[in-house]
Chains A and B, each alone.
Chain A
Amino acid sequence: MSGAEALGPTELDKEEERRLYREEMAIARKYIGPFPVVMALWCFSNLLCWFALWPLVIFDVIPLWAGFLIATANVALCYLPSHEAQHSNYANPGTPLRWLNELIGYVSTIPLVLPFKIARYTHMRHHKHTNDPKLDPDYEVIAPTWQQAVFKTIRRMQPGFPNSYGQVLTDNADDPAAKRAGLEGMVQSLTYWGILCTLAWSGYALEAAFLWWMPRLLGNIYISLFLSWWPHHPMKEMGRYRNTRSFSHKFGNLVAFGMEDHIIHHLHPGMPLNRNKAAFRELRPILEARRCRLEDH
């Protein structure tokens, strides 16, 4: 076995394996517990900002180009609070705040027009089958360089390119959850196109284009690059401790949307994004012992 490969239960001494696992879980539990206030505030402040842009631009309080830049940031930022909701990190089913979890899931991605149920359904499969060429719905992002990943994402947006999320729903057509997700997705997409066309024919074509349509395209590229390509590249390995990596981005973790520590998310999806960095620092010795892909040097 090469030194670069992860040490699983068969390679590690059984007792050592159990000790590492116990330590890992003990650390992880400290960061999983409390309600992720930061992520909830992130959702609503970002959404409010995006909604506010419309009257601000329409009534010439701010120029369209400024609205475009802010809207693009809003779209790129709107996914992550919903991502927490996909993992039920605000509230589990059957708990009093479950409504809030689902609300955040639905409303956070309005600017991105990403239907919550489709996002949850496909994202759970991504976690279960990370880097599996056939079963990981996010595998399509694979590319040798980040520049090629950007071009590939643009190609994936073209009407003739197969939609991997749509394929997952088709493959699971007998599952009521997939059916429901597909229906909700269709309603949300049609509503989006309906609003866009109505705005365009009502004299607000430029506002519709530069506050929603273009930001959505650019936001999609950014999200795909930083949330899918960068943390999983080169997408060759599977398994709990090797399917995701830590990395250092030259423009910092904020630009990378906190994905430098995405390995923590795959190990402990119940831990909110804003606690990943601290957890990563504390878990590092265990991850090193496991020979995880720590490429943040």
Chain B
Amino acid sequence: MTILKALFPWGPVFFGLGFLAPLIAALMINLTITAPFGLTELQTGLIVGGTWGLVAKFGGRWI
């Protein structure tokens, strides 16, 4: 329970990496969007999802 309480505030980051990253990658593949800078779709997803999660965690909102 203590661990969960400590991890809970980082939920947006976990969500960004755990769900948004593969979702972004799947959307890129589906829409045939080429990843920039020679990255793979999944690497792009991890960068975008992780950054977005950090913004949500510290900014308090996703949008």
Using CB atoms and an 8 Å cutoff, list the residues of chain A in contact with chain B: 154-155, 158-161, 186, 193, 196-197, 200-201, 203, 205-206, 208-209, 213
Contacts and interface: CB of A to CB of B under 8 A. Distances in A.
B38 to A, nearest CB: 22
Contact of A160 (B22, B23, B61): B61
A5 B62 CA distance: 42
Contacts of B25: 205
A154 B61 CA distance: 10
A205 B61 contact: no
A193 B18 contact: yes
B30 A206 contact: yes
Contact of B62 (A158, A203, A205, A206): A158
B11 to A, nearest CB: 7
A209 B23 contact: yes
Interface of B: 4, 11-12, 14-15, 18-19, 21-23, 25-27, 30, 56-57, 59-63
Contacts of B19: 193, 196-197, 200, 205, 208, 213
Given A200-B26, A205-B22, 13 more contacts: A159-B62, A160-B59, A193-B18, A193-B19, A197-B18, A197-B19, A200-B18, A200-B23, A201-B18, A201-B22, A206-B23, A206-B30, A209-B23
A193 B63 CA distance: 20
Contacts of B59: 160
Nearest to B53: A159
A159 B57 contact: yes
Contacts of A200: 18-19, 21-23, 26
A208 B19 CA distance: 9
B26 A206 contact: yes
A206 B18 CA distance: 14
A154 B62 CA distance: 10
Contact of A161 (B18, B22, B60): B60
Most chain B CB neighbours (cut-off 10 Å) among A161, A186, A203, A205 = A205
26 contacts: A154-B63, A155-B61, A158-B62, A158-B63, A159-B11, A159-B57, A159-B60, A159-B62, A160-B61, A161-B60, A193-B14, A193-B18, A193-B19, A196-B18, A197-B18, A200-B22, A200-B23, A201-B22, A205-B19, A205-B23, A205-B26, A206-B23, A206-B26, A206-B27, A206-B30, A208-B23
